[in-house]
Structure 1
Amino acid sequence: MCGIVGAVSSRDIVPVLLEGLKRLEYRGYDSCGVAVYDADNGQLRRARSTQRVAELIDQVAVDGVTGFTGIAHTRWATHGAPATHNAHPHFSGTNGSDPRIALVHNGIIENHDELRALLIERGYVFESQTDTEVIAHLVHYHYEGDLLAAVQASVRQLKGAYAIGVICKDEPHRVVAARDGSPLVVGIGTGENFLASDALALAGSTDQIIYLEDGDVVDLQIGNVWITDAHGQAVERQAQTVQAHSAAVELGPYRHYMQKEIFEQPRAVADTLDDVMSIMPELFGDGAYGAFKQIDRILILACGTSYYAGMTAKYWIESIARIPVSVEIASEYRYRDSVPNPKTLVVTISQSGETADTLAALKHAQSLGMLETLTICNVSTSAMVRACRYNFITRAGVEVGVASTKAFTTQLTALFLLTLAVAQAQGRLSEEDEAMHVRAMRHLPVAIGAVVALEPQIIAWSEQFAKHENALFLGRGMHFPIAMEGALKLKEISYIHAEAYPAGELKHGPLALVTDEMPVVTIAPNDALLEKLKSNMQEVRARGGQLYVFADVDTRIQAEQGLHVIRMPEHYGYLSPILHVIPLQLLAYHTACARGTDVDKPRNLAKSVTVE
């Protein structure tokens, strides 16, 4: 979602700020901007755009914006439309063209209406519809010559989630920042210091990163960094060496990042399994064996694609480990009455580890006394990893495309490992079964490579899909969540309305939609539900629907009029969902290409969702 970059230095910092914004583009945004202290005229200057960062770079060059202290931002609109006057940075204390405060903000301020009314009474004029401008004016109101004190006083009045960076024309060698509920890091340089919402933004400038905690306020100057906690007490936060190489986000020979990331899945899964020589609960952290042994329930909390990974894991865990599993949409879980069980293992799933809904749900579960917590995450330094007792770090690498691909398959890989580890701790995994499952997992990278080789056949299908505005996806059992993920991918990037159903639910309503204009994508593995699925397919054919079936080699489903078949290379047993989702990713990708949409940055969406 929104991205922040800031710096204080003795050199022109604008190129660093703009390069940082480029590295954060993958998060999704609809406007961008930069503000600096211009030493030549002693004023704050800014440039803002509702186009891409490349256009902002051109604008900055034309306007000659330079400075040694500055902040920059990519905005994903919440309060106020995507428009230049709503873009960050926001100014306050304007006297003609001479503002005193510039501020950038990630998150949502829940009491912004109340604060706005208060500030209007005090004579402040608002130029935007954003909650962010409220903070800028609040800092200006509290400013009495010390920017740190003004920010500390301001954040005490805020309710909601925020990460902010602030500069002041009266203190030109200083950036002050604060966070609560939104990620923010400090980069330590030599004779300069940096601020960012993601360490990746600072790749090439520094690899010494401090991860701020909720409630922290930081004072960055050229030679020093001071941090205070939520109570205003000085605290030490240790710097970590973080290798956030920007080469990971280079496109290479691929047309889009999504295509690149689909084809990176054999490597991503292989890397995720690299240190797994055998199944043991300690893969998830010290003490995991004892925790897994005593639990009698698992609660999975996640959003979006990660939620579908959790739904798939429910089938695995209940079948293999024989532990009941609940899967909750994180944004709903914390707002309903639930029945806590202290013998529950709470599992969160997040690509970024900063997903606001999931973090809030995790804290809610902990407040109810469910303290055995585990996260499956792609970022080892994230807030979610720090908040959970146990973790498993997937190795998907940087994922730029908003529509998740390799993050999803590595999450599924980790969840299958968790299934086996819990089963082992519960005494329900024999040595023979463990060896069989490990062999199957070791084969996954090769199997995925064989599936992505189906791309030419899927391209042919995509030309037909691109002509339609609606589609149905069908699956049964543990492939129903995969059908939902396939539908999500298609609507995310092609803007085709797509819905997924358990195939047995067709006759309970969705069958009314089926005509010869309705493509129906069906996942057909050779499992115990295959014959039931074939009957559901006949229901579609009888109504003139066009079936597009991804079938295992031994299902004996033959292509004919109205029935299109692509054969999967082999049958994958329990791991079948990991393989069957890949052709659905490719179908969505190539359909979007055929329709000419912005594949990597679909409208209205963001990569890292750090607001509720």
Structure 2
Amino acid sequence: MSGIVGYIGKHSAQSILLDCLKKLDYRGYDSAGIAVSDMKTIGLRKEKGRVEDLEASLQLEPIQPGCLGIGHTRWASHGMPTVENSHPLCDEEERFYVVHNGIIENYQQLKKFLIAEGHHFQTDTDTEVIPHLLAHYDTGNFEETVRIVIPQLKGAFALAIMAKDHPNQIIAISYDNPLIIGFGHGEAYLSSDIPALLPYTKEIYPIKNGEMAILTQTNVEVKTLSGEKILPKKTAVHWSHDELSLQDYDHYMLKEIMEQPEAIKRTLKNRLAAGDVIIPEVEEFFKERQLTDIEKITIVGSGTSHHSGMIGKKILETMLDIPVEAAISSEFSCEHGHLNEKHLVIVMSQSGETADTISALKNAKKFGAPVIAITNYRKSTLGRKSDCLIYTHAGPELAVAATKAYTTQITALILLTIVLTKKLNGPGEDKIPVLLDALHSLADDVEKCLVMTQDAIDQFAQVTNDQGHLFLIGRGLDYVLALEGALKLQEVAYLHADAYAAGEMKHGTMALITPGVPVIALATQPHLRDKAINNIKEVKARDAYVVGVTTTGDDEVSAVVDEVLYIPEAHPFLMPILAAIPLQLLAYYAGTVRGYNVDRPRNLAKSLTVE
């Protein structure tokens, strides 16, 4: 969703804020703005578009220099992406300046009250009620005024606030929405995400629910809303500059696709033992709860994480003798079946800050269900609030479209499946040795897959350039993979890509197959190959242009398609990882050949922190 930054120290706030905002624009790029204080006045500049548009405006018409300020890059939720609706927002007397991420659920009631009290609003946003409330309840004491206003706000939000009468302070608040303090030497930073801070500091503290951080040039204090001081437990971040930079790549998306072998190695490291899987955090989780009678498992996620969960569902169902569901976070949060202490809930999110998934976690815990989180950020909300965290070690993912998040989530789910199968004496125990052998070579197989498919996919992407529609079909795990491939093509190539269970085509969708329409047919599951070939023949009979994705040496599939992409053969559970590689590459090259910014697709943001 939107991104917040803040700085207070000895250097130019404007240059630091702009640099941090550029590193956060995957969270939103509808508009951007900054407010900078010179200790006397606060200068404000906002522009529609990306951070580069704001930077160009500041070069043409600078605001006064200063050594503290706040900034924002926006993904529009309430109100169109306009300069007026951009953050920072202030009250009509320009006493308080606010940047906000999240949603104020009761803003309509608050706005109605404030209008009745004589306040005049200039925007369509929910955010504007906050500076007006601060002005309305202003006590002259900045901290005290914030303490009065925050309890009136309902929703999930993060705020950074400046005050005209207190120009040497920034106050930051977090409620179920990430906001991180970065500590420097005589300076401090704020950011919605870690990557923006790493060029300046690797010592951080995520602000927790109900905490208020007061930043000055000489000190950083963290307090509860009641005023009790808290000693922040600082954490060191170990990501390197190379992990955050583009290096020799044109886009982060391609870089992150190519990083998947190493990301998978890190996910498996120290967890694969001789003939076993060891995940200490899961061992501790079971030891504390003595969970031996789990009656049901639900895997909850959104977007790509939901597709990872669907893969995990099919694998868990094969290995365990208990019901497994894969639920969409936004649906589970509002409507779910019976939950209790015997219902294991697995929540997944790359960032660990997806609002719908956090809401699902809260629902699960409310009914006593144990929760395991799989995420790429240790200090994320999901990581802190779950009963057990499995960290994926994927490294930073800065492109909006998830790639290595998907493959490492499935890898982590397979590891967890092996542990659960042993803990619960699942019927799939005898399948574990073969699966373990396959996991040991998984990273190498992914590397081979990248080498085998990259050039061929680049050429096929040219074929899609003049196409408005594309279909992906598959059976079993290949059908879920088709869903993920279609999502990637929709996200970054803006193709009307649809995924279908191959056997269902003849029940209606075959009406859309016309001569020359591209169809990607996934056929990686040995026990379903014959049926998949029959389905390919059905679409070929309607003169579709079919590209098959199958394993090396599969002459049966190659004989019935127009073009074939071979990938290495591996354990069937691992094929959704390997076969994802050509689909990710296809989305990337299809997007670039059409001239789109594949890292920042329109209308999307990386971390969706509003429901």
Structures share fold, TM-score greater than 0.5: yes
The residue that corresponds to 1:109 in the other structure is 104
Partner letter of residue 462 of structure 1? A
Greater shift, 204-213 or 159-168, is seen at: 204-213
Aligned length: 605
> Which residue pairs with 2:307 in the alignment?
308
Q: CA-to-partner distance for each residue in 1:489-540, whole Å, 9 max, x for gaps? A: 0011111111111111111221111111421111111511111111111211
Among 209, 213, 220, the alignment partner of 2:208 is 213
- Normalized against structure 2, the TM-score is what? 0.95
Distance between the aligned counterparts of 2:477 and 2:485, measured in 1? 13
Amino acid at match of 1:59: S
Secondary structure of the residue that 1:409 maps to in structure 2?
helix
**Is 1:26–2:23 an aligned residue pair?**
no
Counterparts of 1:561 and 1:315, CA distance in 2: 28
Amino acid at match of 2:199: G
The Cα shift of 1:232 comes to: 4.8
Query: Which amino acid in 2 is paired with 1:285?
Result: V
Question: Offset at 1:307?
Answer: 0.3
Matches within 5 A, 1:329-368: 329-368=328-367
Between 1:197-206 and 1:81-90, the stretch displaced more is: 197-206
> Which residue is equivalent to 1:409?
407
* Rounded Cα–Cα distance in structure 1 between residues aligned with 2:342 and 2:157: 33
- Contact 2:36-2:69 within 8 A present in 1 as well: yes
**CA offset at residue 587 of structure 1?**
1.0
Name 1:176's counterpart in structure 2.
Answer: 171
Deviation of 1:292 (Å): 5.3
Aligned 8 A contact 1:559 1:565 in 2: yes
In structure 2, do the counterparts of structure 1 residues 325 and 450 end up closer, same or farther at CA, with 3 Å as the change threshold?
same
- Is the alpha carbon distance of 1:319 and 1:142 closer, same or farther for their aligned partners in structure 2, counting shifts above 3 Å? same
Offset of 1:571 from its aligned partner? 4.2
Q: Which of 121, 127, 130 is residue 132 of structure 1 equivalent to?
A: 127
More moved, 348-357 vs 276-285: 276-285
Structure 1 residue 164 displacement after superposition:
0.5
Q: Secondary structure at the match of 1:54?
A: helix
| Cα separation, 2, equivalents of 1:92 and 1:205 | 32
* Distance across 1 between alignment mates of 2:459 and 2:475: 26
Indicate which of 252, 267, 274 corresponds to 2:262.
267
- In structure 2, stretches of 5+ residues that fail to align are none
Could you give the per-residue CA deviations for residues 385-425 of structure 1, whole angstroms, max 9, x where no partner exists? 11111121111111111111011100110011011111111
Secondary structure of the corresponding residue to residue 483 of structure 2: helix
The answer for the alignment partner of 2:5 in structure 1 is 5
Give the secondary-structure state (helix, strand or coil) at the position aligned to 1:596: coil
Q: Is the 8 A contact 1:471 1:518 kept in 2?
A: yes
Give the 3 Å change call, closer, same or farther, for CA 452–52 of structure 1 in structure 2: same
Q: Distance in 2 between matches of 1:389 and 1:5?
A: 30
Is the CA contact 2:321–2:427 (under 8 Å) kept in the aligned structure 1?
A: no
The match for 1:583 is 582
Counterparts of 1:430 and 1:475, CA distance in 2: 24
Aligned to 2:445: 447
* Residues 214-248 of structure 1, C-alpha deviations (whole Å, 9 max, x = no match): 12222222222333335554333322222354442
TM-score (norm 1): 0.95
Identity rate, percent = 38
Distance 1:467 1:170, change over 3 A: same
Decide whether aligned partners of structure 1 residues 244 and 114 sit closer, same or farther in structure 2, where only a CA change above 3 A counts: farther
Q: Cα deviation per residue 1:256-315 (whole Å; 9 max; x = unaligned)?
A: 111111111111111111112323464443423445533232111110000000000111
Residue 287 (1) aligns with residue 279 (2): no
Corresponding position of 1:533: 532
What is the alpha-carbon distance in structure 2 between the residues aligned to residue 374 and residue 585 of structure 1? 28
> Which deviates more, 291-300 or 559-568?
559-568
- 1:593 alignment partner AA: T
> Whole-Å Cα distance in 2 between the matches of residues 420 and 14 of structure 1?
51
Q: Distance in 2 between matches of 1:108 and 1:430?
A: 45
* Local SS of the residue matching 1:272: helix
Structure 1 residues 503, 231: closer, same or farther in 2, change over 3 A?
Answer: farther
Q: CA RMSD in A?
A: 1.9
For the structure 1 residues 110 and 543, does the alpha-carbon distance in structure 2 shift closer, same or farther, using more than 3 Å as the test?
same
CA distance in 2 between partners of 1:486 and 1:583 (Å): 9
Amino acid paired to 1:111: N
Amino acid at match of 1:494: A
Give the C-alpha shift of residue 128 in structure 1. Answer: 1.4
Amino acid at match of 1:252: Q
> 2:204–2:236: 8 Å Cα contact kept in structure 1?
yes
**Contact 1:214 / 1:230 at 8 angstroms: preserved in 2?**
no
Partner AA of 1:32 in structure 2: A
Change (3 A) 1:560 1:477: closer
Residue aligning to 1:227: 222
CA distance in 1 between counterparts of 2:448 and 2:560 reads 27
Quote the residue 2:388 is aligned against: 390
3-state SS of 1:391 partner: strand
Relative to 1, partners in 2 of residues 1:594 and 1:561: Cα closer, same or farther, differing over 3 Å?
farther
Structure 2 matches for 1:112-191, cutoff 5 A? Answer: 112-191=107-186
The SS at the match of 1:187 is strand
Larger deviation, residues 482-491 vs 286-295: 286-295
Name the SS of the counterpart of 1:238 in structure 2: coil
Partner of 1:481: 480
> Which residue pairs with 1:323 in the alignment?
322
Question: Counterparts of 1:287 and 1:429 in 2: how far apart (Å)?
Answer: 24
* One-letter amino acid matched to 1:522: A
Q: Which of these residues, 236, 244, 247, is aligned with residue 252 of structure 1?
A: 247
Give, as a single letter, the amino acid of the residue that structure 2 aligns with 1:239. Answer: K
1:514 and 1:200 map into 2 onto residues whose CA distance is: 45
Contact 2:277–2:419 at 8 Å: present in 1 too?
yes
- Alpha carbons of structure 1 residues 337 and 431: separation in structure 2 relative to 1, 3 Å: closer
Q: Distance in 1 between matches of 2:570 and 2:284?
A: 36
In 1, are the aligned partners of 2:486 and 2:498 still within 8 Å (CA)? yes
2:542 paired residue number: 543
Report whether the alignment pairs 1:36 with 2:36. Answer: yes
- The answer for the alignment partner of 1:88 in structure 2 is 87
